[in-house]
Amino acid sequence: MKKVVVAAVLALLLTSVSGFAETGIGATVYYPAFMEKYSGNSPLDHLLVGANLRSKHSILLLDISGLYELGNDLIMGFGDVGLCFDLFLFRIGVLGGVNVRYSWNFDSFLWAPNVKADVDLKLGPATVGVSAVVPLPALVLDDSEEVATMRGYTGVSLNVLFWF
């Protein structure tokens, strides 16, 4: 199964580079809505900023995000694949994939599957939209409290992308 997923992602990336797909590059700001429940800190301490790369092939969408948490020394990434439809001025996507997180403070690497929904407003060659991400750490066969904190990264992001 892993080989099939890796092959599909590589095929999507290669076709986007070759010009057979729409490719969007932009910035994203991610707000983990429930993180204060797990950390006790202000939610703004957990604000993440970063870059977003999307590749749309007909109805398939590959979405990759790399983020840095401003209040802590950690990086986070989302890699998702799913379906995407253009409906008038809107681009709507439903995706699934994986969250990965690395913290320098604790020297820890965590991952969890996720589901994601995108709604973007198309403005010529740009899109402005929101995404909702729900990590699913219960699907990871690790009962540690650290993996459970991935639930705190359930949140929304604001995305601005330019398509070519």
Average pLDDT, the chain: 83
Quote the pTM value: 0.82
pLDDT tier at 108, thresholds 50, 70, 90: confident
Query: Is residue 24 within 8 Å of 137, Cβ to Cβ?
Result: no
From CA 163, how far away is CA 128, in angstroms rounded?
11
Share of the chain above pLDDT 70, in %: 75
Reduced to 3 states (helix: H, G, I; strand: E, B; else coil), residue 127 is strand
pLDDT in tens, 21-45: 899 999 999 988 876 665 656 667 7
Contacts (Cβ under 8 Å, ≥6 apart) of 64: 52, 53, 54, 77, 78, 79, 80
Lowest mean pLDDT among 7-16, 60-69, 101-110: 7-16
Contacts (Cβ under 8 Å, ≥6 apart) of 130: 118, 119, 156, 157, 158, 159
pLDDT tier at 135, thresholds 50, 70, 90: confident
- Domain architecture of the chain: domains with CATH: 2-163 (2.40.160.20)
Helices (H), strands (E): how many in the chain?
3, 8
* Alpha-carbon dihedral sign for residues 139, 144, 145, 147: negative
Alpha-carbon 79 to chain mean position: 6
More confident residue, 118 or 147: 118
pLDDT in tens, 53-93: 999 988 999 999 999 988 778 899 999 999 999 999 999 99
Instruction: Single out the residue of 21, 101, 91, 97 nearest to residue 69, CA to CA.
Output: 101
